[in-house]
Amino acid sequence: MQRLRITEQDSINRIHNTIKEQLIKFSCSFFCMVTMVKDKSIYLRLFVLIMKHLMIFCVAGMLMTGCIKEKQTGADLKVGDILPDFEVVMNDGSVVTDEILKEKVSVVMFFHTTCPDCQQALPIMQNIYDEYASKGVVFALISREEGSGDIAGYFNENGLKMPFSAQNDRKVYELFAKTRIPRIYINDRDGIIRYIYTDDPVPSYDDLKSSVESLIR
């Protein structure tokens, strides 16, 4: 786990350094333009244009940092651990508990729809859901600090049809982990975690398929 924290900090530092470099380049370029452009109206339009692009770059950097730098509270479940006690209500009205998951092979995924890595993983999970939900595998997609309205809107826009549980806080998430999303736990019929996938790297369809297949045989 210590290695993951170092990796997160290194990523944050790289993002901050990149933003700093861009700010320095902007300052130098803008100073050169001020000395060369005599028409103040042109100078003002250039300033506004550059600031718009710079703001977009900075916001993107902050969003990326937000996905990486998180709170460090909660459990730290590993492969071989038993699923914790929890209960969530899905958007279709069904209830999922750890006891229900212990009866069948199950997949638990934590996500937030604004996280780029989650956006990459959700369509892959949809394909896995389409293939294995009918074969008895239980899926529990649980949001982390995101309401049902935002999730439903994103799912509708992107053709995602999996049931989900909207959680406005981190209480359920912190029963499993401290940090990083997406987080995917693939569990056997005894409720034991057999595979864990995060954003480092985001798992492929083949990764998830082979993991599920190994447990349903």
- Kindly report, residue by residue over 18-33, the tens digit of the pLDDT: 666 666 666 666 666 6
Strands 87-89 and 95-97: antiparallel
Higher pLDDT, 212 or 4: 212
Whether residue 201 has a cis bond before it, omega within 30° of 0:
yes
Q: pTM here?
A: 0.72
Q: Which of 15, 14, 21, 22 is nearest to 54 (CA)?
A: 22
Q: From 128, 116, 119, 197, select the one nearest 155 (Cα to Cα).
A: 119
Kindly report, residue by residue over 123-168, the tens digit of the pLDDT. Answer: 999 999 999 999 999 999 999 999 999 999 999 999 999 999 999 9
**Helices and strands (H and E) in the chain: how many:** 6, 7
Q: Residue 43's pLDDT band (boundaries 50, 70, 90)?
A: low
Supply the mean pLDDT for the chain.
84
What do you get for the CA distance between the two ends of the chain, in Å? 31
Residue 89: helix, strand or coil by DSSP? strand
> Rounded to whole angstroms, what are the CA distances from 19 to 31, 42, 94, 163?
18, 26, 45, 38
pLDDT digits (tens, 9 = 90+) for 81-135: 999 999 999 999 999 999 999 989 999 999 999 999 999 999 999 999 999 999 9
Q: Are strands 138-143 and 164-165 parallel, antiparallel or unpaired?
A: parallel
